Structure 1
Amino acid sequence: MALNVLNVDPQTFHRVERCGHPLVVYECKLGAVPCGMFVEGTTTAVSAHLREHSIPGPDNASTSCPWASCSKTLKRGAMSRHILTHLGVKACCSVCGVVKCRLDVLRAHIRSSESCRFAHADVVYGPEGRFLVPTGRTVTAAHQVQ
């Protein structure tokens, strides 16, 4: 299997080394000319990456999504959550298997369903995700998520 070189921020690299578990990252497609970085598919990581791209304005200001060809207008504070939809990251109920587009929507399902009240959310990775795998003293980009 061919291995790829992926540009990730140092925090992501060290987290993979430290925890010893694979992480899934996605190619940034923000702006007209993407930066070439790969970002973890979490709202925290996407939010930090958005700050690196200097998306201006307060959280309640309306702005256009800067992702590739998206033209949706939304509040800047909702941008990280919205970008996860571009990555294809979803959440799955551990009890009934229902898949929701966002973690907050799945949490509402868990709260409202008697049979799922003790469920937890499992991540459903997007199709373009790449695994970062710790291999001894290095981190390797192994393969695309299937």
Structure 2
Amino acid sequence: MDPELIHVDPRTLLQVEQSGQPAVVYKCKLQGVPCGLHVEGMTSAVSAHLRGHGVAGPDNTSTSCIWGTCSKTLKRGSMTRHILTHLGVKVRCSVCGVVKCRHDLFRAHINSSEPCHLASAEMVDGPEGRVLVPTAWFATHQV
């Protein structure tokens, strides 16, 4: 079976190739002129991708979400975090297994739960994520 051909944000592709580690990517669904690229479901990658689309400005400025059919009004500084919820990216507590939809909610959980104070965040990929593997991976794994 041939792998699905997808177009990946060049920054994400470079990061995967340099690290040698796979990444989960999601298709950009920003309204307007679609770029057709897939971007990693991490805060830094989504934020950089938004800037590439011209979504920038002061963090406290009100704006509307332009992902898919969403039009929710929020602060510009919350846009990246909001888009991660569209992607379905979540965080699981390594101690108790509770799943939170955002990192700030996960931090609140570990701060309020004594047994979970030393927990780490385990990423839970969204349902539309695609695994992007570095080129070198194919040399060491049978496909």
- TM-score, L = length of structure 1: 0.89
Amino acid at match of 1:81: R
Amino acid at match of 2:128: E
Q: Which shifted more, 93-102 or 25-34?
A: 25-34
Deviation at 1:7, TM superposition (A): 1.5
Q: Which runs of 5+ in 1 are unaligned?
A: 139-146
Q: Structure 2 vs 1, CA of residues 33 and 10 (structure 1 numbering), >3 Å: closer, same or farther?
A: closer
8 Å Cα contact 2:50/2:56 also seen in 1: no
Q: What is the aligned partner in structure 2 of residue 99 from structure 1?
A: 99
Deviation at 1:48, TM superposition (A): 0.6
Amino acid at match of 2:103: L
8 Å Cα contact 1:17/1:137 also seen in 2: no
CA distance in 1, matches of 2:135, 2:52: 29
Q: Does residue 36 of structure 1 match 2:36?
A: yes
Q: What is the aligned partner in structure 2 of residue 66 from structure 1?
A: 66
Q: What is the aligned partner in structure 2 of residue 117 from structure 1?
A: 117
What is the count of residue pairs matched by the alignment? 138
Q: State, as a whole percentage, how many aligned pairs show the same letter.
A: 65
RMSD: 1.5
**Cα distance per residue 1:87-118 (max 9 Å; x no partner):** 00000000000000101100110111111111
CA distance in 2, matches of 1:72, 1:47: 18
CA distance in 2, matches of 1:56, 1:116: 36
CA distance in 2, matches of 1:52, 1:125: 23
Deviation at 1:2, TM superposition (A): 2.5
Q: Which shifted more, 128-137 or 20-29?
A: 128-137
Q: Does residue 86 of structure 1 match 2:86?
A: yes
Q: What is the aligned partner in structure 2 of residue 49 from structure 1?
A: 49
CA distance in 1, matches of 2:23, 2:137: 16
Q: Which runs of 5+ in 2 are unaligned?
A: 139-143
Report the secondary structure of 1:7's partner residue.
Answer: coil
CA distance in 1, matches of 2:14, 2:53: 22
In terms of fraction of residues, the more strand-rich structure is 1
Deviation at 1:136, TM superposition (A): 2.2
Q: What is the aligned partner in structure 2 of residue 13 from structure 1?
A: 13
CA distance in 2, matches of 1:31, 1:86: 13
- TM-score, L = length of structure 2: 0.90
8 Å Cα contact 2:25/2:131 also seen in 1: yes
Report the secondary structure of 1:135's partner residue.
Answer: coil
CA distance in 2, matches of 1:136, 1:55: 34
Q: Does residue 129 of structure 1 match 2:124?
A: no
Segments of 4+ moved more than 2 angstroms: 135-138
